[in-house]
A and B are shown apart, each in its own frame.
Chain A
Amino acid sequence: MPDMPIQTRQRDWGAIVVTLCLMAVAGWALWEAQRMSELGKLFPITFGGLMLTLCSILLVKQLLGRSTPRLELEGSMPRRALLVVVMIAWIALLPVLGFVVAGLLGFFAIMAIAGHDGWPLPRLLRFVAIGIAVVALIAWIFQHLLHVPLPAGRVFF
């Protein structure tokens, strides 16, 4: 996301929440380290502690409004959210529907999300045909050429 314009803000509460979350991760790492062996906790304590310290400095800077501003997003937020939802559903359906069927569903769903120019019938048919060919080709390459046992699925094979 390198070409997104920078928004200027004094105090970014979103960024503060993210920093607090990172502090929680570091704190949790330190907490968990207490249950580890002497050797096992050396590194988590060193770098968990360092991360907590650095996050505290960042938090102070953010509260004073001196931190670098966040990147402002361009484009459609619902499309972004939909993509993540589709990817989650795709992965969840893989063991149920199998690689090919789940792959086709995921492929077409993301194709629809990425489409900004409308879907005249000839274009749609062409893209669907290509999509089927791409999924079949990838499945064939991985399954037969590279001997990767792709998920077979409980409903379809």
Chain B
Amino acid sequence: MEIFSYLLAALHPWHLGLALAGTTAGVVIGALPGLSATMAVAILVPFTFAMDPAAGLIALGAIYTGAIYGGAYSAILLNTPGTPSAIATTFDGYPMAKRGDGNLAVSLATLASVTGGVIGALFLLTLAPPLASFALVFGPVEYFWLAMFGLTLISALAEKNLLKCLIGACLGLLLSMVGSAVVGGDIRFTFNTQTLLGGIDIVAALIGIYCIPVLIELVAKAGGHLKVTTESTGYRLREAWGQFNRSRINLLRSSTIGTIVGMLPGAGGSIASLVAYSEARRTAAQPEDFGKGEPNGILATESANNATVGGGFIPTLVLGIPGTPPDAVILGALMVQGVRTGPTLFTDQAPIVYTFIFGLLIASILMLPIGLIMGRYAYRAIIRLPKEMLAPGIALLTVTGSFAIHNNLHDVQVMLGLGVMSWLLNRYGFSPSPIVLGLILGQIAEQGFVQAWLIGSATSNLWGMYFGRPLSLVIVGLAILSLFYPLLMAKLRSRRKRRLTHA
């Protein structure tokens, strides 16, 4: 019964107020391209130092979960992921908004984010200690294969352009190598300039690659940015709820993927949402609809990325190893508060931990009203704004957002350069998503690949290192399945069609 006292503590008006304010602030910051969840947490962390540990943790958890969700707004309405976690949300969110279903997409994203957040928090509440030890089973080679698994999403995005998508992914991987090497410290592809020494920042790249092409096309043509339909004014919640109910398995699977990937240090929401998207597409009855405004795509990505919040807290609290970058900031805040993380945290400081977990649950649920209200206004604003205001407004946010990452102009220059390159390549059939995938997964893949190579060489078991571990083989199997499944299904469908025609 002790657990209910923690629930009641989380429901204290002060904690509820913090959860509400934190979620709202997180949503606003997350929706602005360039301001990531890490930044949202980092900016607001000093405000929690004066609070008691449970209250401070609730505020930070709410900011974090709100920011992850907020990234969906700009992904859906502007084709620019507000946070890296929302990359895959652009695949179907923006096409939905383009055809006049932006409000439905926002409602779906809200429902999915709440589900993901709640499931992630429930995992944290019930299974934290055993799941944390599972995260430790992942070695370098598993990280490498996990990144490769993420890259197999290319086949889902490829349609008839697999070759160009693979080239795009290679280009993204090469871009991820710019700067100092993750293992060895070589300075690579910098043209001997200081500008590129720190590498290409993912957030700046995201803003450029996704936002600049939209901006270029926005000014070129007269007419509205998004299609406006007659039912554009409401939340379309009933429609969203119907879709939500039909996709329960997708939501459950994606949230579980999000929690598990969130637990892996360094993996984060972007990989979780990509893997969940890939799985949702693979198991869909009509996978060819993905990438063209398929609601299940949004449900998969948004539930997965919000589930990483709860998942990421599992190794953070149980092992003291941050699962995601915002968790690292929160871990620092915990240390300032005098809370010692570790396996005994759940027994020694149970009131703090359980009050926080219930607070996280409450913050996830609060995302529903907050998200729907804010999403509706964001959608209305975007469809009603004339292009003469929207285009310079987006341009201003791209410049300010990319500058704010490291407070330097290099990121702004990189953002614009990559944006123009992305527009040009897109014109010749190289879609931006494989480039972004390569860029995001590159460092994780390289670190895992090189570390595994080192260990394999040292133990004279290189082949066994990459293909001899059971967990690696499971991930390799999933990656192969994910890569060839769309092609296989397309072949089977065309064969079936031919048979029917002959009959």
> Please, which residues of chain A bring their CB within 8 A of the CB of B393?
134
| A contact residues, range | 35 or more
Whether, in the assembled complex, B453 has its beta carbon less than 8 Å from a beta carbon of chain A, the answer is yes
Q: B250-258, B303-311, B355-363, B419-427: which lies at the A interface? A: B419-427
Q: B61-69, B126-134, B166-174, B322-330: which lies at the A interface? A: B166-174
Whether, in the assembled complex, B289 has its beta carbon less than 8 Å from a beta carbon of chain A, the answer is no
Whether, in the assembled complex, A63 has its beta carbon less than 8 Å from a beta carbon of chain B, the answer is no
> Please, which residues of chain B bring their CB within 8 A of the CB of A114?
218-219, 387-388, 390-392
Interface residues of A in 140-157 (CB under 8 A from B): 142, 146-151
Contact with B along A6-45 (1 / 0, CB 8 A): 0000001011001000100110010010001101111110
The answer, among B170, B183, B404, for a CB contact under 8 Å with A142, is: B404
Say whether chain B's binding surface is mostly helix, strand, loop, or mixed: helix
Interface residues of B in 429-478 (CB under 8 A from A): 429-430, 442, 445-446, 449-450, 453-454
> Please, which residues of chain B bring their CB within 8 A of the CB of A22?
167, 171
Q: How far is the CA of A105 from the CA of B280 in the complex (A)?
A: 45
> What is the distance, in angstroms, from B35's C-beta to the closest C-beta of chain A?
7
In the bound complex, do residue B184 and residue A39 qualify as a contact, i.e. CB atoms below 8 Å apart?
A: yes
Whether, in the assembled complex, B403 has its beta carbon less than 8 Å from a beta carbon of chain A, the answer is yes
Q: How far is the CA of A114 from the CA of B224 in the complex (A)?
A: 11
Given contacts A47-B173, A58-B167, A147-B43, contact A36 B186 (CB under 8 A): yes
The size of the chain B interface, using a CB distance under 8 A, is 68
> What is the distance, in angstroms, from B434's C-beta to the closest C-beta of chain A?
12
> Please, which residues of chain B bring their CB within 8 A of the CB of A36?
181, 186, 188
> Please, which residues of chain B bring their CB within 8 A of the CB of A106?
392, 395-396, 399
A-B contact pairs, 6 of them (CB 8 A): A40-B181, A51-B170, A73-B427, A91-B399, A107-B396, A148-B404
**Chain B interfacial positions (CB closer than 8 Å to A):** 29, 35, 43, 95, 98, 160-161, 163-164, 166-167, 170-171, 173-174, 177, 181, 183-186, 188-189, 212-213, 215-222, 387-393, 395-397, 399-400, 403-404, 407, 409, 412-413, 416, 420, 423-430, 442, 445-446, 449-450, 453-454
